[in-house]
Structure 1
């Protein structure tokens, strides 16, 4: 049975045995140093713990908005893998072992050491963590490619950029942690023969299978995801002048389930690469300047804040225009009576006219109100002839 993949694996009972240090001082010191170094390393991963906490927070914060998007589903699967790593609690396992190992600086003739089962439990957990971190790296990379495509299309640019930075940090640190775990495993495996077997059947009578070379046991996950080869760097075209579209060209086909988005991005990538990326800087600037679009002549928008003459009253179309017209007339009558359209009308008559029109505003429809206002204004300003012409024409 593959115990590395068993979540509820029961740890062995912590038992010690008496060990003479005459012929095994160096091995005991090596075991103590390795366990202490591993404990300090995992305790120092505060930045990774913070990034994992952000992944968990993001998957909850934006669940209702992006739950049906493939990239967000990858983010939630990544969150589950990070929670699985947290449930292993490798720091507690190392702390228990370190507390049972004597100080290597001074060793007595006989010391108490933990049994082999305790170290085997640690090795099995390290074996499972390497597989888990390979999955974390793959999920981070696939989700990152998805959000890179979204950024290149301009969809949810701010959120996708934030996701991209977070996933890049998780991907980078997970690869480093996986390499360290493999290093600790390979160094601890030969030292298990130093510890005595207590005779207990843990975890089963058949025993456990611990690979001699953990990197070889991981196989393609180790060679393709954790250790990047030179040919992979050539495929990705990682040069100082590498841009977003060139990285997209180096991706594999069918990166996600959104095939329609992939087709649009591929078409956009080809156009951008042939027409923009390959141009020198001077020609690129000319290319950008030349595409100014079609020049469209726009008609000036009439504003009621402009100077209003006799013809401006004929352009009134709404109750708001009428109200604005009366306000401007009042202001012009105070500043310069000669510039007002109703300059020849005395103040009492104009105020009565303005008050009556404001009262009628809520009683009449917009069409009738504007029509009545124009007729009354024509009469007020001495335009009876214009008014009578309209009546006669009707």
Structure 2
């Protein structure tokens, strides 16, 4: 996939916890997709008529379907276990990973966040329209998709939104390192965001496609968060994100498994990639396929084939170790960030699918998007959230949840 694998690998080191045995319980997830909507990659879901926007690339069709209604946690009640699976640079290539994980999500009633790279809706023949900050016109470190893949990506984005998933942003050119986004100013970030929105909302003009329905949302309103390339440049992104009214940022590396708080003067929810126990080791890795690939094959996407099966199991068990530490501990939301890549024979895709299946067997687990998590957090009593944030990773309340949240929870209604 042209350039999608050229991203810096990030790791984190700390003490690890043990992976407890898995026990099956009834699942309690946060989102259900209608059987009448597509899960086969066609993107042909029917949607109520809407107001066309601009050149008809998008349309305002009203509130997004399949959104769980947020409610305050009853006094003394243990929080649900939220799990957010997010995908950087979401695009549909010949490997059909976007459609694969829409199907996985539908199988488990899951909501997910798909971070769309704006230039994945811009043909290479029109790359002169992209003016990346501090780089030549049309430059991109991830290249451009073939027209047939742009066509397929637009179908997937439309169907994913109709199924209740979030379409966030991974921005555009994915510039990392010394000459990358870490040098961008708040004004540069605003330009990058405006261009990403522009590409998504003018795909009809730029591609010339006439056989696709409009994306059923106003992207300028729907876009409320993203993840920066290589988790860099966040300091200058945040002022712009706050000015644009964004609700969250998912660009911080190495966060702990604790309940999230806000940054940028309390205006932006901070949803970092987290340090989770690396199965079979005494240290931790970031909750992303990149980090595990770094440790398993030295960052090479073409590592020793004889070790692929063992690495797949290790990756799956690492995701599950982070899940169990939260589930049996402080119930902090688990954030997992991955890429639609077939690194090391596609083992990380298989590991994610297996992990989701095992997590879904637990009671009171909710697979949600970042946007849905924001809605739940903002519906809570602030006093309850403050108490939850006092719990360290893997630590449940000493006196039990009823005692721990009884006093704070009793003030909520």
Normalised TM-score (structure 2): 0.24
Which structure has more relative contact order (CA 8 Å, sep 6+)? It is 2
Higher helix share: 1
Compare CA radii of gyration and give the structure with the larger one. Answer: 1
Normalised TM-score (structure 1): 0.25
Higher strand share: 2
